[in-house]
Every structure is written in C-alpha cells, then in structure tokens.
Amino acid sequence: MENKISGLHHITAIADNAKRNHGFYTRVLGLRLVKKTVNFDDPGTYHFYYGDEIGTPGTILTFFPWEGIGKGINGAGMATSIGYSVPRGSLAFWKNRLTQNGVNVVTGERFGEELIGFSDPDGLPLVFVESAAPDNRKGWLTDEIGADYALKGFHNVTLTLHKAAPTMKVMTEVLGYKEIGQEGSHIRLATDAADTANILDIYEDAKAPRGRGAGGTNHHIAFRVANDEILMHFREKVLSAGLDITPKIDRDYFFSLYFREPGGVLFEIATDNPGFTRDETIKELGTGLKLPKRYESVRSEIEKVLPKL
C-alpha cells in the first residue's frame, strides 16, 4: 500500500446550538447522524458526526456545538468554505429546498463547475457543486431526499490565507497534492490518490480579516490515510518539514495527528481504521450517546448537562 494522502477524511466546525444544528443537517440537508458523542476535552459538549450510511471518510462533517458561544469570524487562517458534491441536475432542487427553509442561496460557477452557495444557521459557508468529474458515491437517502438529490460527500474545501506559497509548499511537498488550476485569487490543488473528496482550494487575500473561531467557523480539516503505519510515515514527513506535530491520538473511531500549517489552519491526519461501527451496528449508528471510556463512570452527570435534541 502506498504512503499517500487519500483526500479529505473529515471536516470539523463549530456551532452555537446543538438542537438547531442537528435539525438543519439531518432534516434540511438529509445527512445521517453517524455518531453522537462528546468533545474529548469538554464532555459537556456534544460532538456530532454527519455523513453517509456508514460515515465513509470523505463524507464526514462534524460539529462541536458549544451552546451560546456566539458568532465567529470567517477569515484568514481557517477553512472558509466547505464544498459538497451533488448529483448532476440537482442544483435546482437544492436551491428550492433551501429557499423554502429560509436559506438565502446564490448561484455561481468556479473552475467550470456549476454551484450554489449558502450558509448554515450559524453562518458556516457551504457550497453544493455539480462535479465535472464522475462521482459514483451514494448519499444517505431520506423520505424527502432521494438518490437523484442526496449529498454524495465532500467535493472540496477552501482555505483563506494571507499568503498562499508557504501553505502550498506543505500541501505539495509534504501531503502530495499538485496544483491543477488557478482562477483569479483561487488556486486549486488535488491529490491523484483519490477520485473524490480530493480537492483543496486556496483563496489568497493579503487584506482578509483574521478568522476568529466560534459559531459558524471551521475548527480543523482532516486528511485521510489508510492505516496507522501510513499515519506515522506522515508524522515523520511533517517533522522533517520543520513543523510541530502531536503524537498519535486515539479518537475511538480513527487515530489522529494534528499540526498547524504555516497559514494558521489546523490540519489533522486521520486513519480509516477502526471506523464508526466499532461500537454500533450500521443500523444503530447515531442512535446512542457514545462516550470515551474515561467518561463512562460519569455518564449520568454528562447526560444531565447535554442539551436535549
């Protein structure tokens, strides 16, 4: 098996209200709540994982819904737009559905691909893209959102940076991405180790305000590797590039490393193993509150603190 980054693993963002966040992503967007757990460092806060049927890497959007945290600032030093791949011909459906749910939608095109843009209830920028490349992934289906419309998973993520070059060096020399296009201030990179969820865009703006993490902003983005051995290979590569990186961390459903790239964005590298079915069957995914082992002894106290969905 080659030591390669296989695109995006997951993206994590911050919300202000757990119930509102849960309703929007499961009801309006039709994603599956794959795992309901808590923040490892703040067990009084949920950690929601939304994705396809089994939480396939490249489909997983996760949230820390800190109640009452307020609105953040999307700006330089963070991921400022998350792109989902949708079936071709489905943008009209999504524009109508979002508008009916009180969401303001704009239409556009980037790198030859039609898209719509909007924000979630906390202000997190999202884009739905009709990918120019084939995307055979199957989305999670609901009573209101069938196979012709269901979100397939990530298409791309956009970083806003004051300077693109230092981050591009990490993306190309450490993580193995290649520049494949430029459109104005947007630079597109991709990895050929995956066919989907394999694009990262950089928007360079020297005058962009510095981002401030809170509701409606990105917390970190995670890149995908197949297993622990490849994970540790990339740890050595990051260290060799002169960047600080954490030891391997067990996140129950994957193993992770974290480092901050030169532009300020928090990067994670995460494994495919062991996956979200380690403690729930496919049918049961997302139905129970799953706690890290160290918190099981105080489960009743945690359940009292967590907001009701």
pTM: 0.96
**What is the C-alpha to C-alpha distance for residues 274 and 295, in angstroms, rounded to an integer?**
20
DSSP state of 219: E
DSSP state of 59: S
User: Residue 30's closest CA among 106, 107, 108, 84?
Assistant: 84
Give Dmax over CA atoms of the chain in angstroms.
54
Which residues, other chains included, contact 7 with Cβ-Cβ below 8 Å and sequence gap of 6+?
57, 58, 154, 191, 193, 194, 196, 197, 198, 199, 223, 224
pLDDT at 1: 55
Handedness of CA 22, 26, 28, 29 (dihedral sign): positive
Burial class (CB in 10 A: 0-12, 13-18, 19+), 308: exposed
Domain regions of the chain by residue span: 8-305
Measured CA distances, 292 to 62, 252, 297 (Å)? 16, 7, 10
**What is the C-alpha to C-alpha distance for residues 283 and 304, in angstroms, rounded to an integer?**
26
20 sits in which H/E element: helix 18-23
Angle made by CA atoms 210, 216, 222, in degrees to the nearest 5: 80
CA atoms within 13 A on the CB side of 155: 26
pLDDT at 12: 98
Handedness of CA 142, 148, 149, 151 (dihedral sign): positive
**What is the C-alpha to C-alpha distance for residues 254 and 12, in angstroms, rounded to an integer?**
14
Q: State the virtual CA torsion across 213, 24, 85, 1 in degrees, nearest 10.
A: 70
pLDDT at 96: 98
Pick among 3.10.180.10, 3.40.50.720, 2.60.40.420, 3.30.70.270: CATH of 8-305: 3.10.180.10
Burial call 182-210: b when 16+ CB within 10 Å, e when fewer = eeeeebbbbbebbebbbbbbbbbeeebee
Instruction: Quick: pLDDT tens for 105-114.
Output: 999 999 999 9
Q: Which amino acid is at 295?
A: Y
pLDDT tens per residue, the chain (309 residues)?
579 999 999 999 999 999 999 999 999 999 999 999 999 999 999 999 999 999 999 999 999 999 999 999 999 999 999 999 999 999 999 999 999 999 999 999 999 999 999 999 999 999 999 999 999 999 999 999 999 999 999 999 999 999 999 999 999 999 999 999 999 999 999 999 999 999 999 999 999 999 999 999 999 999 999 999 999 999 999 999 999 999 999 999 999 999 999 999 999 999 999 999 999 999 999 999 999 999 999 999 999 999 999
The pair of structure tokens assigned to 214 is 């809170």
User: Residue 87's closest CA among 162, 139, 45, 10?
Assistant: 139
**What is the C-alpha to C-alpha distance for residues 21 and 14, in angstroms, rounded to an integer?**
10
Residue with tokens 């999670």: 140
Q: Looking at 135-217, which runs of residues are DSSP E strands?
A: 153-161, 178-183, 186-190, 199-204
pLDDT at 2: 79
